[in-house]
Structure 1
C-alpha cells in the first residue's frame, strides 16, 4: 500500500499552480542560472522540435533578453549574460552535461546526462528492442539483408565515428557504403515504398545508447544532426531506474496521478505503481473535479513534500510548442480551460506555443514572417497581467533576434497569428 490513506490531505489547483511556478522555474524569482538547472527542474525537455529546447530554456533562464519585471534575478547563475542559445549549445555540445536521446513514449528528449542511464534502462531499451526487431523484419521482407549484415554495418559505423569524432549521416554514408542501401517497405500494402537503410540504422544505434546526436548543421532550429559515439555510463537495475525517474518527476512536478505518470512514461501501470512504492510516494486527495474525471481523484507526492506551498509572486511566461510544463500531465484542466484546446492543439494532440499567467494557460503566441512576436489572450486577465505578458514577449524577441521559429507541429491559433 502506498502511504497511509488515513492521513491524506487535499491539494487544490491553486497550490498545484504555486508548485508549478517555482519548481518549473517560471516565476521570476525562481528563474534558473544555467541550461542544466532548467533541464533538471523539468526532468527532461521535449526534443522532437529542436527549437523547443532553446525556447523552453529561454523562458526560464535568468538574464535571457530584457528583464521581465519585478522579482526577475539578474546576473545569477553560470552564464546568464550569454543567452539561451550559446548556453544550451555549451551544455549539449561542449560540456555534454545534457544529452539528446529517445526516452519516454518513444519521444526525443534533452535531459541531464546523469539521468540518461535511468531513462535508457527504464524506457529506451525496451523500445530499442522492438525497433531493432521491426527493422530486421522489414529488411527480411524487402531485401536480402539479415541480422549479421546489420551487425557488421553497425560495427563499421561505430568504427568510423571513433576515428572522426563526429559525422553527419551523409558523411557516414560515404564512408560506410552499406548505409546507402535501400529496401522495400510494406511490400504488398498501400504503404509499399523504398526506404533508406541509413536513417533506420542510425536510429537503432541511438536508441541502443551507442551513438548520440551532436551539433546540428545550420542554426539552432535545425534537425540535421551530426552523430558521435555515446559516453559509456554505469547502468542501474531496471526497477531502480524506474524509481529514480519517478522520484525526479514528483520532485519537479509536485504531484501526479497514476494516470499522469503512466501517460508521461509510457510504462505499464504495474511499473508505475512499483516505482511509486519504491520512492515511498504518499497519496493525497485532489480537489473535486481535478485529476482524471469528476469527483475526487488520488494523486501522489514524495514523502517529504506534504507541507503546504505558499503562493509565488505573479508571473507570466511564453512557452514553446511541446514545452514540458503543459506536456507533463495527462489531465490538464487544472491549468487549461478545455474550451481553449481547439485553438492550442493540433489534431494529434500536440500543444502549440502558449501564454501563461500565474499557472494557467491564457492564450497563445507565434512569430510572424517579419520576426515580430505576437500573442492573443483567450480570456480576460487584467491590465497588470497584459503588461507582464507583453514584457515577456519583448524578452523573447530580444534573444531570438533575426532567427525565424516555426513549430514543427502547427496549431490553429499559431497559424493564424503567424500569418497576420
Structure 2
C-alpha cells in the first residue's frame, strides 16, 4: 500500500493549489480549476484567493472572467455554499450537488411558510412564485432582489426564526425563493452592483446569462467526476474529507470512489484514498509563504485538518467552522493576518517560524498591502484571532 507522509501531502498542496513560487496559475480560471472552485460566500475571498495564486493579478481580470467572458460563474452548491467555478463545470456540479441542495431548500421553505400561516399549500405557492420570478427575469433581463419583490407580489412576506431568542427576527421569503432557484440552476448571480469586495448581485436566468442551460449528466456520473477532480487537487485524503466537502452521504462518496477506481493508501498511519494513476511521488518544494483570505479553499478543503492546521483551530475557525484569514509557512498554517485602520497588512503569528519564515511572510504582507492600495477588507466571518487582536500589530507569536 502506498504511504504518504505529511511532508509529501504538503508538497502536493503547494504545487496543485498554485501557492508555491514557480507553481502559480496563469490566470484566474486556472486558479479556480486548481482547487475545483473558489469559495464565494465572502465576495472578497474570490479575489484574494486568486491574488494568492496568480502573479500580477488585477481585480479587473477577475471581473472580466465573471461578468464579460463568463468563463467563471457563481453557483450555490456543495454544503449550501456559494462557489465560483469554471462555467464548463456547472452542469457537473449541478447534477452532483446542486439538485440535492435545491431539494433541501424547497422542503424547508415549504414547511416554514405553512407553519407561519402564509400559505396553506406551500408547495403550490413555491411553484407559482418560482414561475413568476423566472417570467419577471425574462422580461427584465437582470434585476436585484428588491426589484423582483416589487415585480412579483408572491415574493412578499416573512417567516420568523428563533422567536424566543434575543437573536431572533424576521426572515423574508423572497430571497429564499431566489436561493432555491439558484441551487436548482435556474438563476444565477449576474453583474455585481457593488465593488469587488461587496456583494450586490443582479439576478438573471441561467439561459440568458450563458446563452444555454448546461447539460446535466446523471447524478452518479456527475458525482464521480466531481470526486475525481477533488481527489486530484486535494488528495490523498480521507473518505471523511470527501464526504464533508461534497456535502453528501458516506454511501454516495463510496459509490463515487468505486466508480473512479480510487485505491486505498496509508496517510502515515491513517486510512486514506487516492486516484489509482496518481501515486507517483511529488518532489519537495522550497519553503514558501502565503497569506490566504477567510474561507480560502485550501484552508477549508479538508474536514480532518490537523496535518496542516496543527493546534490552531480554536484561534482560526469560528464556532460554525468558518476559517478566517491565515498565514502559511512551508505547507502549514502558522497564524493569521489582519489590517490596520489605514489598510496596512500585519501578521498575527501563533508560533515561531524562524527568521527565514518571518522575512517571507512579511514580504507577502507588504505585497498584499501594496495590492490593496489602502482598501480595507471586512471579514464576513472573522476568526477569534482576527477579532481579539484587531488592534494589535505584531509579527511575533501570541
TM-fit CA distance, 1:175: 2.1
**Aligned position for 2:246:** 265
2:227 aligns with one of 240, 246, 265: 246
Specify the alignment match of 1:126 in structure 2: 100
- Native 8 Å contact 1:374 1:417 kept in 2: no
Check if 1:320 corresponds to 2:266: no
1:279 to 240, 260, 266: 260
- Which string of whole-angstrom CA distances, capped at 9 and with x for unpartnered residues, describes residues 266-288 of structure 1? 2111111111111111211111x
Residues 202-244 of structure 1, C-alpha deviation per residue, up to 9 Å, x if partnerless? 1111111100112222211112211111130110011111100
Q: 1:349 to 1:391 in 2, by over 3 A?
A: same
Equivalent residue for 1:217? 193
SS at match of 1:299: strand
Instruction: Call closer, same or farther: CA 1:134–1:342 in 2, change over 3 Å.
Output: closer
Give the alignment's TM-score, normalised by structure 2: 0.92
Residue 11 (structure 2) aligns with: 18
- 389-398 vs 36-45, which deviates more? 389-398
Q: Which of structures 1 and 2 has the larger relative contact order (alpha carbons within 8 angstroms, sep 6+)?
A: 1
TM-superposed CA distance for 1:342, in Å, is: 2.2
Contact (CA 8 Å) 2:344, 2:374: kept in 1 or not?
A: no
Match of 2:157 among 178, 182, 192: 182
Q: Using the alignment, how far apart are the partners of 1:188 and 1:89 within structure 2? A: 40
Aligned pair partner of 1:45 in 38, 52, 58? 38
416 and 130 in structure 1: CA distance in 2 versus 1, 3 angstrom threshold: closer
Partner residue, 1:256? 237
- SS of equivalent to 1:10: coil
Deviation of 1:165 (Å): 2.2
Alignment equivalent of 2:365, drawn from 359, 374, 393:
393
- The Cα offsets for residues 79-131 of structure 1, whole Å up to 9 and x where unpaired, read as xxxx1x21211111111111111111121111111222121111121121121
Q: Quick check: 1:59–1:396 contact (8 Å CA) kept in 2?
A: no
Task: Identify the residue that residue 293 of structure 1 maps to in structure 2.
Answer: none
The CA RMSD over aligned residues, in Å, is: 1.8
Alignment deviations for residues 24-68 of structure 1 (CA, whole Å, 9 cap, x no partner) = 00011011111100110001111111111111111111223xxxx
| CA–CA distance in structure 1, aligned partners of residues 169 and 44 of structure 2 | 31
SS in 2 for 1:15: helix
Q: Which runs of 5+ in 2 are unaligned?
A: 208-212, 393-398
Match of 1:363 in 2: 335
Q: Quick check: 2:119–2:125 contact (8 Å CA) kept in 1?
A: no
**Residue equivalent to 1:31:** 24
Partner of 2:119: 144
CA contact (8 A) 1:184 1:192 kept: no
Question: What is aligned with 1:195?
Answer: 171
Q: Is the 8 A contact 1:335 1:360 kept in 2?
A: yes
- Which residue of 1 is the match for residue 216 of structure 2? 235
Match of 2:274 in 1: 301
Partners of 1:347 and 1:299 in 2: how far apart? 27
Count of residue correspondences: 384
* Residues 177 and 285 of structure 1: CA distance in aligned 2, closer, same or farther (over 3 Å): same
Residues 192-201 or 298-307, more deviating: 192-201
SS in 2 for 1:195: strand
Contact 1:101 1:212 in 2 (8 A): yes
Aligned 8 A contact 1:118 1:241 in 2: yes
Deviating more after overlay: 206-215 vs 144-153: 144-153
